[in-house]
């Protein structure tokens, strides 16, 4: 967008005006911006709290190089003030926005998911500014499942931001790549800059459906019972089975049934 300022001094004269080009300029943190103001007025000067250097003037123009003098990143206005007369002037303002592209984006989530169970996904954007221009997107393959923006966030400076989202695992998630990305909007000149995370490939599994049977539920110390553990899942061979007595493993795969000897005196012996 071009911003112009006008003031007519008479019907036969051209208006005094200044032109600063785009009203927003994005500059990487630690860098500088070269700004130019064209005008047809008697005097034009750049005014800002930013550090100004290399001020140059020519017929109908004045340029300046500016850099941030503050520890915190943020937006700073700078004005090309054109003098209409001794007592009158008009400001043409540019907003200089110092930015920091995220140095790293990470996705934290489990990679073995039980179908029907809920899990938290965390996407962390490490070192970004300004956060108001940030969009965090979470993806399942190429499908967007969640996004968050920060337009109303009042924080300034270099920020590390963690975004969380809850999913419920489905069978269709099996072997899918989950990821997230941080997109920083940097105006019409630079455009959008996107930094992706690494993929997390997940596997899903069905909750085990167990049918546990005992040959006898009342035995004496030293007696043996027959224990059978049957999985009724569609693919039972994908599961590992351990049969335990009072917390002690008594038989493991590939035996899904075995003889168990009760070795401890207890009112109740728990077979799991």
Which of 36, 65, 99 delimits the end of a domain? 99
Q: Is residue 200 part of a domain?
A: yes
Would you say residue 179 has pLDDT above 90?
A: yes
Q: Is residue 267 part of a domain?
A: no
Any idea what the CATH number is for the domain that residue 41 is in?
2.60.40.10
Q: What does the pLDDT look like over 65-77, one tens digit per residue?
A: 988 766 556 788 8
Least confident of 32-36, 109-113, 168-172, 246-250: 246-250
Q: Is residue 145 part of a domain?
A: yes
* Domain count within the chain: 3
Q: What does the pLDDT look like over 9-38, one tens digit per residue?
A: 443 467 788 888 888 999 998 888 899 998
Q: Which two tokens stand for residue 85?
A: 């007369």
Q: Is residue 271 part of a domain?
A: no
Same domain? 195 vs 108: yes
CA distance 5 to 17: 5
Same domain? 18 vs 84: yes
Q: What does the pLDDT look like over 198-237, one tens digit per residue?
A: 999 999 987 766 766 766 666 666 667 777 777 666 666 6
Same domain? 119 vs 68: no
Same domain? 66 vs 31: yes
Q: Is the dihedral of CA 46, 47, 48, 51 positive or negative?
A: positive
Structural domain that includes position 82: 2-99
Strands 89-99, 24-28: pairing is: parallel
Q: Is residue 269 part of a domain?
A: no
CA distance 48 to 78: 5
Same domain? 223 vs 183: no
Q: Which residues of 115-137 are buried (b: 16+ CB within 10 A; e: fewer)?
A: eeeeeebebbbbebbbbbbbbbb
Which of 99, 133, 165 delimits the end of a domain? 99
Q: Is residue 152 part of a domain?
A: yes
pTM value? 0.72
Same domain? 225 vs 166: no
Would you say residue 265 has pLDDT above 50?
A: no
């Amino acid at each position: 967008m071009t911003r112009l300022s006008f003031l007519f001094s008479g019907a036969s004269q051209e208006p005094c005006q200044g032109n600063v080009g785009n009203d927003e300029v994005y500059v990487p943190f630690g860098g500088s911006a070269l700004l130019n103001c064209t005008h047809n007025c008697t005097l034009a000067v750049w005014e800002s709290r930013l550090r100004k250097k290399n001020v140059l003037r020519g017929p109908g123009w004045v340029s300046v190089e500016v850099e941030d003098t503050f520890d915190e990143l943020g937006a700073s206005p700078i004005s090309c003030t054109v003098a209409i007369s001794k007592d009158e002037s008009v400001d043409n303002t540019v907003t200089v926005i110092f930015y920091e592209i995220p140095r790293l984006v990470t996705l934290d989530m489990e990679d073995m998911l039980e179908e029907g169970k809920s899990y938290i996904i965390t996407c962390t954007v490490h070192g970004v500014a300004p956060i108001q221009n940030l969009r965090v997107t979470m993806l399942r393959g190429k499908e967007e499942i969640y996004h968050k923006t920060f337009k109303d966030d009042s924080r300034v400076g270099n920020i590390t931001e963690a975004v969380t989202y809850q999913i419920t695992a489905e069978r269709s998630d099996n072997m899918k790549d989950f990821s997230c990305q941080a997109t920083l909007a940097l105006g019409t000149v630079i455009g959008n800059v996107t930094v992706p995370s690494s993929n997390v490939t997940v596997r899903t599994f069905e909750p085990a459906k167990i049918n546990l049977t005992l040959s006898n539920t009342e035995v004496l110390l030293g007696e043996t019972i027959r224990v059978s553990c049957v999985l009724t899942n569609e693919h039972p061979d994908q599961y590992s089975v351990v049969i335990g007595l009072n917390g002690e493993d008594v038989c493991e795969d590939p035996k899904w049934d075995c003889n168990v000897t009760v070795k401890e005196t207890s009112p109740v012996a728990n077979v799991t």
